[in-house]
Amino acid sequence: MPVNLPAGSILVNIENARYYARMKKTADPEVRLLQALADPTRLAIVRELAGNAEVCACDFTTCCDVGQPTVSHHLKVLREAGVVVSERRGSWIFYRLAPNVAERLGGIARGLVPGGLIPVGELTRRRSGQTAKPASA
C-alpha cells in the first residue's frame, strides 16, 4: 500500500540510524577493538583468520554468508581497529590477524579481573607451595 508523505519528507531506516549512532569513531583503541569484534560477521572473519595464516578477501564470502561489498566494509572496520593487516598482491588482497591482537585482548581481560590474571605457570607454583623464581638481572 503506497504511503502519502508530505513534500520534502525523508524516509530514514531507524535501525540503521541507531546502528551508526552507536558506532561513532572513538579515540580509545580498546573501545574500537571491542566494537570491531562485537559484530557477528566481523567475528566470523576473525575466526576464519585464526584458523589460517592468511585469507584472500574474496574467500570470506563463504564463511560469512554475505556479499563481497559487505565483507569489504567489515574488513575496513577490522583494519581501522587494528585487528587485521592486509597485503595487496596484484589484484588480490590477503588478510591476516594483526600480530598483537591477542595481546591487546589479553590486556583488556587482565584489566577486568580483580588482581589481574595469573599465568598458568605461576598458578601451578602457588598450588605446589613453590615460590616464584626471581628475575635475573
Full-prediction pTM beyond 0.75?
no
pLDDT of 7-52, one tens digit each?
Answer: 655 544 445 444 445 555 678 899 999 999 999 999 999 999 999 9
- What domains sit in the chain, N to C, each tagged with a CATH number? 27-111 (1.10.10.10)
For residues 135 and 50, the model is more confident at: 50
Above 60 in pLDDT, residue 136? Answer: no
Residue-level pLDDT at 78: 96
Helix (H) or strand (E) holding 87: strand 84-89
In sequence order, which ranges of 10-119 are alpha helices (DSSP H)? Answer: 14-22, 29-37, 40-50, 60-64, 68-80, 101-112
Residue-level pLDDT at 100: 94
pLDDT of 86-134, one tens digit each?
Answer: 999 999 999 999 999 999 998 888 888 777 667 778 878 888 876 655 5
Please tell me the distance from the alpha carbon of residue 62 to that of residue 137, in angstroms, as a whole number.
51
CA 127, chain centre distance (Å) = 35
Q: Output the nine-digit C-alpha cell for 49.
A: 583468520
